[in-house]
Amino acid sequence: MGTWNALSNELAQAIQEVGRSIVTIQAEGGRIVSGILIDEQKIVTTASVISDAEKVNAWISPNELLNASVVGSDSGTDIALLTIEEKIGSVAVFEENPKLDVGQLVVAIGRTWRGNLVASSGILSGLMGEWQSFRGTKIEAFIRPDLNLYSGFSGGALIGTDRKIIGMNTRALHRKSPLTIPYATIKRVIGVLSAKGYIPKPYLGVGLQPVRLPESLKHKLNLTQQMGALIIHVESASPADKSGFLPGDILLSVENYEFGQEGTASIVFRLTPNSEAKIAGIRGGQHFSSTVMVGERPRKRV
C-alpha cells in the first residue's frame, strides 16, 4: 500500500508541476486543444486546429485569458508556433534525448475548455526511429502511447517518470491514433517557423506517375528495382525544366532513394529546398543521370 500511495502521490505532483506549462488553446471558431509553453512568450500546439487563424485565445488557468498570435504552422508535422504578449515563468522542461522503452509508464497532460488541468496515463506501446508523416514530412522518432487522448488533449504534453516532457501529443498524423511528436522534431520545426513563419517545401516542378518497369528493360539495363516514376508533365521554368527533364523520362532514384520503396511524393518530400539533388533515370531505353537544384514550392496566396 505504501508503494502504491507513493507512486500515486508522485504522479499527482508531476502532473501539477508540468501542468503549469500547459495551456488551453482555441482558434476563432475552432475546437479546443492544449498547448505547451516553450519559453516565456511562445507556445507550441497542434497545427490541425489553428488552420489559417491569425489570433487565438489561450488560458493558463480558468481565470487567466491570454491573447496569442500565430507565428506559423506546419501541417506535415502538425506543429504550430504561437506568441503571447505577457511573459509567463512556468516554461516547459523537455527531455532532449529521452531513453524510451516499450512498456514504460507515461502520462498525457492537457487542459479543458475551461482551462482546467486534466491527465491520462498509460504505457508506451510502440517505438521506432525516423519516419515520414502522410504528407511526406520527416518526424525524428515514432512514439506511440497507449492511452486515451480525450477531447482537448492534442497539443498537450507526454511525460515520463523523470517529469520531463517527451513531446507533444496529436491525433492528426497517423489515422487519428495517438502519437507523440518528439522534442527533436518540435525544436527543428519551431526554429524554422520562428525565422520564416512557414516550412519551405521542396519543389521540382514535375508530374509523376508510378510505373512498373518491364522485365526486358530491367534485363537490358541490369536493374533490380521493380518500379520507377514516369514524368507526365514538366512545368515551364521549373527546376526540372531548367535541368532538362522531359515528359516520358522514367526516374529511378533521387539522392539514392529508389522510387517504388515509397510513394513518389514521399521521395520528393525528402529533398531539401535550395540544395542540389542527384537524379538517375531512363530516357529512350538508356540510363541517364542529372543534378537538379531543388526549388521551394510556391506558397498559396491567401
Write down the pLDDT at residue 224.
92
pLDDT tens per residue across span 73-89? 998 899 999 999 888 77
Write down the pLDDT at residue 302.
39
Between 133 and 262, the higher pLDDT residue: 133
128-142 burial string, b = 16+ CB within 10 Å, else e? Answer: eeeebbeebbebbbb
Q: Measured between alpha carbons, how far is 103 from 49 in angstroms, rounded to an integer? A: 30
Write down the pTM of the prediction: 0.84
Of the pLDDT bands very low, low, confident and very high (cuts 50, 70, 90), residue 262 is low
Contact assessment for residue 52 and residue 76, using Cβ atoms and an 8 Å cutoff: no
pLDDT tens per residue across span 135-189? 678 899 999 999 988 888 999 999 988 889 999 999 988 777 899 999 999 999 9
Q: Measured between alpha carbons, how far is 179 from 170 in angstroms, rounded to an integer? A: 6
- List, in order of start, the domains of the chain with CATH numbers: 2-196 (2.40.10.120), 202-296 (2.30.42.10)
Give me the residue label for grid cell 502522410: 134
Q: Measured between alpha carbons, how far is 118 from 92 in angstroms, rounded to an integer? A: 16
pLDDT greater than 50 at residue 20? yes
Q: Measured between alpha carbons, how far is 288 from 227 in angstroms, rounded to an integer? A: 16
